[in-house]
Structure 1
Amino acid sequence: MTKPTVFMYSGQGSQYFHMTRELYEQHPRYRLWLDYCDDIAAPILGDTVLDTMFDPARTKGDPFDSLAESSAALLCVEYSLTRVVQEMGYRPDILLGYSLGEITAAVVAGVFSLERGISFAVEFARILAERTPLSGMLAIVASPEIVRSRPGLFADCRVTGRNFDNNFVVSGRIEAIQRLRDTLDVEGITCQRLPVNYGVHTDLIDPVEHRVRDVLSGVSFDPPQLPIVSSASAERVAAVTPDSVWAAMRSPVEFAQSITNMTAAGDATFIDLGPSGTLATFVKYILPSGCGSAQISTINRFGQDLKSLRDFQVQAAPLLADNTSEPRENSRL
């Protein structure tokens, strides 16, 4: 039996300035698709995604934390990477989204258009900015068990993502996150502030639920043309609905459980279409030793995009030999 191929889409926290810049400058097909996405996104944002992403006044280390701009940029990058990989001849059997990545998955599955996906992501971001408190998000390299065993340490913080056994994410108001970060630093527990300034996946966004549902009520949802697994429910989504979209933004992300559930019936090949390669790294730590599943990233934060994409092709060729269509001639690197 052929292993299913899973295309994975990361969410907020995986973005950074100048992501895919080398690919844009040197890979004609990627440039074509990103230009196409930018043409769609620019009227929605009131500015171009490219000017924001490739701002010469910014470095990769600067926080890319404008929620509306970074959400549009992530959707454009992930969609464009998907088209390039498809043009290489690879096709997904299943789509897996992480938070905002569930919107990309819905677009790729044909549930709604790219324009509709970007419009929702941007409007959602603007609603959060207008009507919810500034917050912080912290990735912690430790077992989530620490939250139960030391409730005082995590006062006013909520677990918003479980990535693998020793990696989880918490969110809360800025002062609570800063206090937690300071204490973890003193105790030598590795943590990293993520570029997300609003309380997604927590009750901090509950006041905008009715407004978000009003926006979603104007969206037409078509049946997905490919199976979608939600990291919010850790299960396959029979149909994308306003309820499932709200859950993707409001519920904690259960990424580890999602991968465990997906591999319970057999091995799979997981391809990370996000800009950082973080989901492939998570999968690496989730998969049991000796299993037949595999994970591959397309690009990562470290630059050398063309080399990363070539490496992807080398790794993917034997793993996906039975799950390809004829590659387009002009998709070669």
Structure 2
Amino acid sequence: MDTLLDAPRDVVLLLPGQGAQYPRMAAGLYDSDPAFTDAVDRCLALFPDGELLRDDWLAEQPAIGIDDVRRAQPLLFTLDYALGRMVLSWGVRPAALLGHSVGELAAATLAGVFTLEDAVAVMHDRVTRIAPTEPGGMLTVAGTPDDLRPFLARHPHIAIGARNAPRQTVLAGLSAPLRAIAADLRGAGITTLPVAAHHPFHSPVLAPLFRDLTLYRRITAHPPLFPLWSAFTRTRLEADTVADPALWAGHPVAPVHFWPTLDKLLSTGRHLLLETGPGKGLTTIACRHRSVKLGRHTAAALLPARPRTPDDDRLHTDRARELLHTTTALAPQPA
């Protein structure tokens, strides 16, 4: 028996962002898991349109589609946060939290950097600023940033929005330039896939919207209660860095360096990476890492990869909880 591979693992929560959303994500846990339900209710009560958010989240035919920024962003934040609160209610004390895009704000809230009231104010402010702007989007490309430099030189209005994996780069920009570079890439035989987004997140296009730091300067940022890693700075955040208003105001504009940050985090120990949000996008990325393939780390998701039944939500969550008991030092729940 390999005692190193069998040793208990520390839990890392991975919180997904834009593109992970799907209809009725995690709805099967609502009114089923008390901690999740309470966190959702507290969060939605703080949004000015919280009842409409709940209605569209749970509806089979929502009035506003899930990919619209007015639904995707606040609901991703709410569900990432609520799922995190559910996991914490199981007795998990995370060794680290790492969010992708809006998932980082949810991670910071779980870590106690922001009160829920302040985090929702930031979330609502972002949506209010972005929603009326010119439409755009994001494009996942099978290639490295170096592979894409010639294309970016021909399409200067497109930027790299995220580095998700060594050969998974996300581009961002307004609709017409994004269509042009997509056609150029496909013509060169490079695989592309649109991200479910109607705006150019993590692009300089949004920079003018977030120059006013008034809201962010009014909010108090507290030292993290759990180790909090940032895919924007590529480092662990400390008390001084979380207190920088420009860091949080710049999230919708700055690129997401998920893979380099994950790589650094994985060097700190042996972990169970638990995707604490909708889908399995971050789990799939993590499973490409060499140390995960070699068994040093395990990656799992709380929820299905796509819309299924409420029973499927609960089944996936139960399996994840069982995995926590078998691979970490978490004490089993009483019968």
Shorter-normalised TM range: 0.7 to 0.9
Q: Following TM superposition, by how much is the alpha carbon of 1:222 offset from its aligned partner in structure 2, in angstroms?
A: 1.6
1:6 paired with 2:12, answer yes
CA distance in 2, matches of 1:55, 1:184: 37
CA contact (8 A) 1:171 1:199 kept: yes
Q: Following TM superposition, by how much is the alpha carbon of 1:53 offset from its aligned partner in structure 2, in angstroms?
A: 1.1
One of 319, 324, 330 as aligned partner of 1:311: 319
CA distance in 1, matches of 2:231, 2:183: 30
Q: Following TM superposition, by how much is the alpha carbon of 1:23 offset from its aligned partner in structure 2, in angstroms?
A: 2.3
Greater displacement, 217-226 / 189-198: 189-198
What does residue 274 of structure 1 align with? 277
CA distance in 1, matches of 2:19, 2:249: 19
Matches of residues 216-255 of structure 1 in structure 2 within 5 Å? 216-239=216-239, 240-241=242-243, 242-255=245-258
Matches of residues 45-64 of structure 1 in structure 2 within 5 Å? 45=49, 47-58=51-62, 64=66
SS at match of 2:106: helix
CA distance in 2, matches of 1:151, 1:105: 32
Matches of residues 69-80 of structure 1 in structure 2 within 5 Å? 69-80=71-82
Q: 1:24 to 1:186 in 2, by over 3 A?
A: farther
One of 293, 297, 304 as aligned partner of 1:300: 304
What does residue 202 of structure 1 align with? 203
CA contact (8 A) 1:133 1:204 kept: no
1:142 paired with 2:146, answer no
Matches of residues 100-139 of structure 1 in structure 2 within 5 Å? 100-130=102-132, 132-139=133-140
Gaps of 5+ in 1: none
What does residue 180 of structure 1 align with? 181
One of 37, 43, 61 as aligned partner of 2:43: 37
Q: Following TM superposition, by how much is the alpha carbon of 1:291 offset from its aligned partner in structure 2, in angstroms?
A: 4.4
Q: Following TM superposition, by how much is the alpha carbon of 1:87 offset from its aligned partner in structure 2, in angstroms?
A: 2.3
In the comparison of the two structures, how many residue pairs are matched?
321
CA contact (8 A) 1:5 1:94 kept: yes
Q: Following TM superposition, by how much is the alpha carbon of 1:190 offset from its aligned partner in structure 2, in angstroms?
A: 3.2
Provide, for residues 236-255 of structure 1, a one-character-per-residue CA deviation record: whole Å limited to 9, x for no partner.
01131212213433221111
Matches of residues 315-330 of structure 1 in structure 2 within 5 Å? 315-320=323-328, 322=329, 324=330, 327=333
Q: Following TM superposition, by how much is the alpha carbon of 1:152 offset from its aligned partner in structure 2, in angstroms?
A: 5.1
Gaps of 5+ in 2: 1-6
What does residue 83 of structure 1 align with? 85
**AA aligned opposite 2:299:** Q
CA distance in 2, matches of 1:31, 1:46: 14
TM-score where L is the length of structure 2: 0.86
CA contact (8 A) 1:16 1:63 kept: no
What does residue 4 of structure 2 align with? none
Q: Following TM superposition, by how much is the alpha carbon of 1:147 offset from its aligned partner in structure 2, in angstroms?
A: 0.6
SS at match of 2:315: helix
Greater displacement, 50-59 / 248-257: 50-59
CA distance in 2, matches of 1:185, 1:25: 45
**AA aligned opposite 1:232:** F
**AA aligned opposite 1:55:** A
What does residue 95 of structure 2 align with? 93
Matches of residues 255-270 of structure 1 in structure 2 within 5 Å? 255-270=258-273
CA distance in 2, matches of 1:129, 1:36: 24
CA distance in 1, matches of 2:225, 2:152: 44
**AA aligned opposite 1:56:** E
Q: Following TM superposition, by how much is the alpha carbon of 1:155 offset from its aligned partner in structure 2, in angstroms?
A: 4.2
CA contact (8 A) 2:137 2:195 kept: yes
Q: Following TM superposition, by how much is the alpha carbon of 1:185 offset from its aligned partner in structure 2, in angstroms?
A: 4.5
Provide, for residues 84-132 of structure 1, a one-character-per-residue CA deviation record: whole Å limited to 9, x for no partner.
22222322121111111111011101112212212211111211234x4
**AA aligned opposite 2:324:** A
Provide, for residues 55-85 of structure 1, a one-character-per-residue CA deviation record: whole Å limited to 9, x for no partner.
22249xx962322332221121112111222
Q: Following TM superposition, by how much is the alpha carbon of 1:22 offset from its aligned partner in structure 2, in angstroms?
A: 2.1
CA contact (8 A) 1:201 1:252 kept: yes
How big is the alpha-carbon RMSD for the aligned residues of Structure 1 and Structure 2? Answer: 2.5
CA contact (8 A) 2:162 2:169 kept: yes
CA distance in 2, matches of 1:210, 1:38: 27
SS at match of 1:232: coil
CA contact (8 A) 1:275 1:300 kept: yes
